[in-house]
């Protein structure tokens, strides 16, 4: 069974193929034909059954790196102050226990944890992104004590690596376009 997006692509291809033969068909009509080929009475019924989140379909959405931190104030200074992320979650099981924190910027989520078993200091996260040159310029302009990250042109893309105060590295990379 195709996904909803695949069925919509089928409808667009059908419409295009018929248009090349001077047969005019609306997008809605092409969706209804695709629904009929899938043995459904109409597009709405088919679309409901072609849900992307079906339990029998494997689909990965997003990987969220967990990076070990040992000082919440330093983590805030680096991730929020220097990199420009915003805190979206803070959790402690009890006031004296370690912090688990999530930060976000432009669609990238990172989890930062003081919990000993969550991650090891010195980890590396690789992040595909757009606008790496602008991000690099933004960080350089801050003239911050966290260093001046370089920007390298590598076979897989333009890459900038930053180091947090805990030995973790994040490699921000944009594919060559």
77 lies in the same domain as 164: yes
Give the range of the structural domain holding residue 37, as residue numbers without chain letter. 4-49
pLDDT by residue for the chain (177 residues), tens digit each? 788 888 888 888 888 888 888 888 898 999 999 889 888 888 888 888 886 556 666 777 789 999 999 999 999 999 999 999 999 999 999 999 999 999 999 999 999 999 999 999 899 999 999 999 999 999 999 988 777 899 999 999 999 999 999 999 999 999 987
Q: Is residue 61 part of a domain?
A: no
72 lies in the same domain as 138: yes
User: What are residue 171's DSSP bridge partners?
Assistant: 126, 161
34 lies in the same domain as 90: no
Q: Is residue 54 part of a domain?
A: no
Q: Is residue 59 part of a domain?
A: no
Residue 114 exposure: Cα atoms within 13 Å on the Cβ side: 17
Pairwise CA distance, residues 161 & 50, whole Å: 41
The domain that holds 125 is classified in CATH as 3.10.180.10
43 lies in the same domain as 118: no
45 lies in the same domain as 78: no
């Amino acid at each position: 069974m195709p996904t909803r997006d695949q069925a919509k692509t089928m409808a667009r291809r059908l419409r295009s193929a018929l248009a090349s033969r001077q047969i005019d068909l609306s997008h809605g009509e092409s969706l209804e034909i695709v629904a009929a080929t899938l043995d459904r009475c109409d597009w709405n019924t088919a679309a409901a059954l072609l849900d992307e989140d079906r339990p029998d379909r494997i689909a990965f959405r997003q990987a969220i790196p967990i990076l070990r931190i040992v000082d919440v104030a330093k983590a805030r200074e680096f991730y929020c102050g220097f990199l420009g992320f915003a805190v979206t979650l803070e959790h402690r099981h009890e006031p004296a226990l370690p912090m688990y924190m999530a930060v976000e910027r432009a669609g990238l989520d990172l989890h930062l944890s003081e919990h000993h078993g969550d991650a090891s200091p010195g980890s590396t996260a690789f992040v595909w992104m757009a606008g790496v040159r602008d991000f690099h310029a933004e960080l350089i302009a801050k003239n911050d004590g966290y260093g001046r990250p370089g920007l390298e042109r590598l076979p897989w893309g333009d890459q900038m690596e930053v180091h947090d105060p805990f030995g973790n590295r994040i490699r921000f990379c944009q594919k060559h376009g």
